[in-house]
């Protein structure tokens, strides 16, 4: 299946599943789609449960079991698509035509219709996912090996240039062995995409937006140009603050920022270095970490806090099985894929999250994010299997992100996560800075990850230039630079989950724009009257009903229809994010006046 919510989903299911029956010569398009929906539910169980076991217990054997399930899935998919071709040009309802279109797109790694290649592709994708999940940095100076979680803590908390550098370089020792496998993966998946009628896998990924792939590429660029001024201001301010702290020899004022100093392994979010960038030191209480530590929140309590938010909107409690089957903590005795994900197994009846929760505000927000996926999965569970998905990938990612916008100081105080909810201008600017370091910092990164993959899949980026092209994009978009020389002996894209995990990334870029549009609409529904940044829809049944309405549609209609129903517009649009950050932007422009910005 298509990779949705950070779930390593590959092609569909298998030949010979229990529910599978051959089509008849007289089968109508409607009947065919009904049958495919039935089969799909069964094949998803097979693949999904195998993937869950693998992801929560990475071993040689679970890797084999997952790879076999992926092969069954892709065989089923190839077969189903081939069968669907007999209806080409026939009269059918728009819903049936849409279902056939979605069937074709329902895999993130289409396998060629050939048993040996299917096997090779499934083995490579499973192996890559396992390499990332089990990846560790083992220093050669006698220190113990470190997993990603530990290295991330160093980057988040250490303010020592060299200590950060060691963690940053260390994590990237896991990915060079992925390079050749990734090259072969691209070859095989491209061949699969060709068989489905696409020029390459990138074009296939861009075909899921109810517009042509070329139009979508332009659309993404249009949106990026709309929000880029926000990032440029933030970058300028962050660079000068870092230069003050580390010295201009380490952080030159006219060059990209060294990538290991922004508090995050990929420089994708910068809120961990808020302490270095706080506009008005000590004003307002934004320190949720302190409360979590003081009250020693358990992972379960953190998840409950997130669930409570959704319940306040009128959603039903998560099922008992969610609490029994989810993985909240990193098991001590085995390798798992810690990267957070939300699962809607059994057609959305068996909801779970898989995380290695740490006691921090950052992680609390990830939990709110993941539950957004789960509530979406449950809301569309009544749809036929081919429509059990979000309106487009960005919608799935945007639900929990929208909810986090309601985590205003007033909300955090109400639920006891901060002590005071000051709303002076200074406190607002501080609070907005914290949010921008998360939401605005992500924008260029979220744009570039797939630009790199689109280039790889189309051949515009040759295997011999994988790393060079990666760093060109990172510098062009993010204005960051590798702190040490990188060469083609490295494979830095592989050190980010979504590349070996083959999850498309444009969804996060779109979500970061949509979440503000959604929030504006929900705040209107809640009857909120005030600046967007101050709105929390916590407790609003009206906002909840509007949200639920959108979620229930799943992917049954073009996303433009779904967006219009919630927001009144058919276009994704950056004006809400710009409106939201107005106070901070005014402040940043003042701070940056007279500075040399850009890189
Ligand atoms: O992968 C995720 C989620 C899982 S769907 C935790 N995100 C991206 C990332 O971590 O790189 C959320 C924001 C961006
Ligand atoms: Zn997500």
Per the residue annotation, which of 339, 392, 396, 533 is the catalytic one?
A: 339
Provide Rg for the chain, Cα atoms. Answer: 23
Residue 179 CA to ligand 2 centre (angstroms):
26
Distances (CA, A) of 370 to 5, 133, 259, 310, 398: 8, 19, 27, 12, 10
Instruction: Mark whether 533 is an active-site residue.
Output: no
- How far apart are the two ends of the chain, measured CA to CA in Å? 41
Residue nearest to atom 12 of ligand 1 (CA): 508
Per DSSP, the chain holds a count of helices (H) and strands (E) of: 24, 6
Instruction: Find where tokens 């952080």 sit.
Output: 251
Signed CA dihedral, 113, 119, 122, 128: sign only: negative
Q: Is the CB of residue 491 less than 8 Å from the CB of residue 182?
A: yes
Nearest ligand 1 atom to the CA of 442 is: 14
Nearest ligand 1 atom to the CA of 503 is: 1
Buried/exposed code over 555-591 (b: 16+ C-beta within 10 A; e: otherwise): bbbbbbebbeebbeeeebbbebbeebbebbbebbeee
From 343, 397, 438, 513, give the residue whose CB has the most ligand 1 atoms within 8 Å, as the site to mutate: 397
Q: Is the CB of residue 429 less than 8 Å from the CB of residue 583?
A: yes
Instruction: Mark whether 508 is an active-site residue.
Output: yes
From 3, 339, 352, 441, give the residue whose CB has the most ligand 1 atoms within 8 Å, as the site to mutate: 339
CA distance 171 to 147: 8
Residue 558 CA to ligand 2 centre (angstroms):
21
Buried/exposed code over 513-523 (b: 16+ C-beta within 10 A; e: otherwise): bbbbbbbbbbb
Residue 390 CA to ligand 1 centre (angstroms):
16
Signed CA dihedral, 25, 31, 32, 35: sign only: negative
Per the residue annotation, which of 120, 217, 307, 397 is the catalytic one?
A: 397
Residue 77 CA to ligand 2 centre (angstroms):
25
Q: What are the residue ranges of helices labelled H in 106-250?
A: 115-133, 148-157, 161-171, 179-195, 201-205, 213-246
For strands 480-481 and 257-258, give the pairing. Answer: parallel
pLDDT in tens, the chain (599 residues): 454 454 333 333 223 333 444 556 689 999 999 999 999 999 999 999 999 999 999 999 999 999 999 999 999 999 999 999 999 999 999 999 999 999 999 999 999 999 999 999 999 999 999 999 999 999 999 999 999 999 999 999 999 999 999 999 999 999 999 999 999 999 999 999 999 999 999 999 999 999 999 999 999 999 999 999 999 999 999 999 999 999 999 999 999 999 999 999 999 999 999 999 999 999 987 789 999 999 999 999 999 999 999 999 999 999 999 999 999 999 999 999 999 999 999 999 999 999 999 999 999 999 999 999 999 999 999 999 999 999 999 999 999 999 999 999 999 999 999 998 888 999 999 999 999 999 999 999 999 999 999 999 999 999 999 999 999 999 999 999 999 999 999 999 999 999 999 999 999 999 999 999 999 999 999 999 999 999 999 999 999 999 999 999 999 999 999 999 999 999 999 999 999 999 999 999 999 999 999 99
Residues 6+ apart with CB under 8 A from 70: 10, 11, 47, 50, 122, 125, 126
Closest-CA residue to 29 (of 75, 76, 94): 94
pLDDT confidence of residue 7: 37
Ligand showing the shortest atom-to-Cα distance for residue 355: 1
Q: At what angle do helices 466-473 and 179-195 cross, to 10 degrees?
A: 80
From 265, 355, 369, 512, give the residue whose CB has the most ligand 1 atoms within 8 Å, as the site to mutate: 369
CA distance 208 to 149: 33
Residues 6+ apart with CB under 8 A from 530: none
Residue nearest to atom 6 of ligand 1 (CA): 340
CA distance 551 to 168: 39
Residue nearest to atom 8 of ligand 1 (CA): 508
Phi, psi of 569 (to 5 degrees): -125, 155
Residue 367 CA to ligand 2 centre (angstroms):
10
Per the residue annotation, which of 307, 363, 370, 438 is the catalytic one?
A: 370
Q: Does the reported pTM lie above 0.75?
A: yes
Residue nearest to atom 13 of ligand 1 (CA): 508
Phi, psi of 112 (to 5 degrees): -60, 150
Residue 263 CA to ligand 2 centre (angstroms):
21
pLDDT confidence of residue 423: 87
pLDDT confidence of residue 435: 96
From 148, 340, 365, 450, give the residue whose CB has the most ligand 1 atoms within 8 Å, as the site to mutate: 340
Nearest ligand 1 atom to the CA of 397 is: 5
* 3-state SS assignment for residue 147: strand
Residue 281 CA to ligand 2 centre (angstroms):
32
From 2, 6, 7, 502, give the residue whose CB has the most ligand 1 atoms within 8 Å, as the site to mutate: 6
Residue nearest to atom 3 of ligand 1 (CA): 340
Q: Which residues line ligand 1 (CB under 6 A)?
A: 5-6, 268, 340-341, 366, 369, 508
Ligand showing the shortest atom-to-Cα distance for residue 148: 1
Distances (CA, A) of 166 to 44, 156, 264, 473: 41, 13, 13, 23
Residue nearest to atom 7 of ligand 1 (CA): 508
Per the residue annotation, which of 396, 498, 526, 580 is the catalytic one?
A: 498
Nearest ligand 1 atom to the CA of 268 is: 11
Instruction: Mark whether 340 is an active-site residue.
Output: yes
pLDDT confidence of residue 146: 98
Ligand showing the shortest atom-to-Cα distance for residue 7: 1
DSSP state of 477: I
Residue 396 CA to ligand 2 centre (angstroms):
7
CA distance 405 to 590: 25
Instruction: Mark whether 498 is an active-site residue.
Output: yes
Residue 505 CA to ligand 1 centre (angstroms):
9
pLDDT confidence of residue 92: 97
pLDDT confidence of residue 285: 74
- Two structure tokens written together for 338: 């810690």
CA distance 127 to 130: 5
DSSP letters for 311-359? HHTTPPPPPHHHHHH-B-S--SSS----S-EEEEHHHHTEEEEE----S
Buried/exposed code over 183-210 (b: 16+ C-beta within 10 A; e: otherwise): bebbbbbbbbbbbbebebbbbbbbbbbb
For strands 146-147 and 257-258, give the pairing. Answer: unpaired
Residue 493 CA to ligand 2 centre (angstroms):
19
Closest-CA residue to 176 (of 466, 448, 403, 440): 466
Ligand showing the shortest atom-to-Cα distance for residue 503: 1
């Amino acid at each position: 299946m298509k990779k949705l919510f950070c779930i390593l989903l590959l092609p569909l299911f298998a030949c010979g599943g229990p529910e599978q029956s051959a089509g008849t010569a007289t089968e109508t398009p409607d009947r065919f789609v009904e049958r495919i929906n039935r089969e799909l539910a069964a094949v998803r169980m097979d693949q999904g449960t195998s993937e869950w076991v693998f992801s929560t217990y990475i071993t040689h054997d679970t890797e084999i079991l997952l790879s076999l399930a992926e092969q069954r899935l892709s065989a089923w998919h190839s077969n189903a698509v081939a069968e669907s071709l007999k209806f080409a040009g026939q009269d059918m309802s728009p819903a049936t035509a849409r279902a056939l279109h979605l069937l074709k797109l329902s895999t993130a790694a289409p396998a060629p219709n050939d048993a040996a290649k299917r096997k090779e592709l499934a083995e490579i994708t499973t192996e890559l996912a396992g390499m990332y999940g089990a990846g560790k940095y083992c220093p050669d100076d006698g220190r113990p090996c470190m997993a990603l979680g530990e290295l991330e803590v160093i980057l988040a908390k250490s303010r020592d240039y060299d200590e950060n550098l060691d963690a940053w370089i260390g994590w990237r020792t896991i990915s060079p062995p992925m390079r050749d496998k990734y090259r072969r993966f691209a070859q095989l998946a491209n061949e699969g995409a060709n068989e489905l009628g696409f020029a390459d896998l990138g074009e296939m990924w861009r075909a899921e937006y109810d517009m042509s792939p070329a139009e979508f590429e332009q659309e993404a660029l249009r949106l990026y140009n709309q929000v880029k001024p926000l990032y440029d201001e933030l970058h300028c301010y962050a660079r000068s603050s870092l230069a003050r702290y580390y010295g201009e020899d380490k952080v030159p004022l006219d060059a990209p920022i060294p990538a290991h100093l922004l508090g995050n392994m990929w420089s994708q979010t910068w809120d961990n270095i808020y302490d270095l960038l706080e506009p008005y030191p000590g004003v307002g209480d934004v320190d949720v970490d302190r409360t979590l530590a003081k009250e020693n929140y358990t992972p379960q309590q953190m998840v409950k806090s997130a669930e409570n938010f959704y319940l306040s909107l009128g959603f039903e409690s998560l099922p008992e099985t969610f609490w029994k089957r989810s993985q909240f903590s990193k098991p001590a005795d085995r390798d798992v894929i810690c990267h957070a994900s939300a699962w809607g197994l059994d057609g959305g009846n068996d909801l779970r999250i898989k995380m290695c929760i740490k006691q921090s505000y950052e992680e609390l927000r990830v939990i709110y994010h993941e539950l957004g996926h789960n509530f979406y999965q449950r809301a569309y569970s009544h749809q036929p299997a081919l429509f059990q998905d979000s309106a487009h990938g960005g919608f799935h990612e945007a639900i929990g992100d929208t909810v986090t916008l309601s985590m205003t100081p007033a909300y955090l105080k109400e639920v006891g996560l901060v002590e005071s909810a000051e709303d002076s201008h200074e406190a607002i600017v501080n609070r907005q800075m914290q949010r921008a370091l998360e939401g605005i910092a992500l924008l260029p990164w979220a744009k570039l990850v797939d630009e790199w993959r689109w280039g790889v899949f189309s051949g515009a980026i040759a295997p011999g230039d994988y790393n060079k092209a990666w760093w060109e994009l990172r510098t062009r978009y993010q204005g960051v630079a590798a702190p040490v020389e990188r060469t083609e002996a490295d494979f830095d894209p592989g050190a980010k989950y979504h590349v070996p995990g083959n999850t498309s990334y444009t969804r996060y870029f779109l979500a970061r724009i949509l979440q503000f549009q959604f929030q504006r609409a929900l705040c209107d529904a809640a009857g909120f009257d005030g600046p967007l940044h101050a709105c929390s829809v916590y407790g609003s049944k009206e906002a909840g009903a509007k949200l639920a309405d959108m979620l229930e549609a799943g992917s049954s209609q073009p996303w433009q229809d779904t967006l219009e129903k919630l927001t009144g517009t058919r276009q994704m649009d950056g004006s809400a994010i710009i409106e939201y950050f107005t106070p901070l932007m005014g402040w940043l422009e003042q701070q940056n006046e007279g500075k040399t910005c850009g890189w």
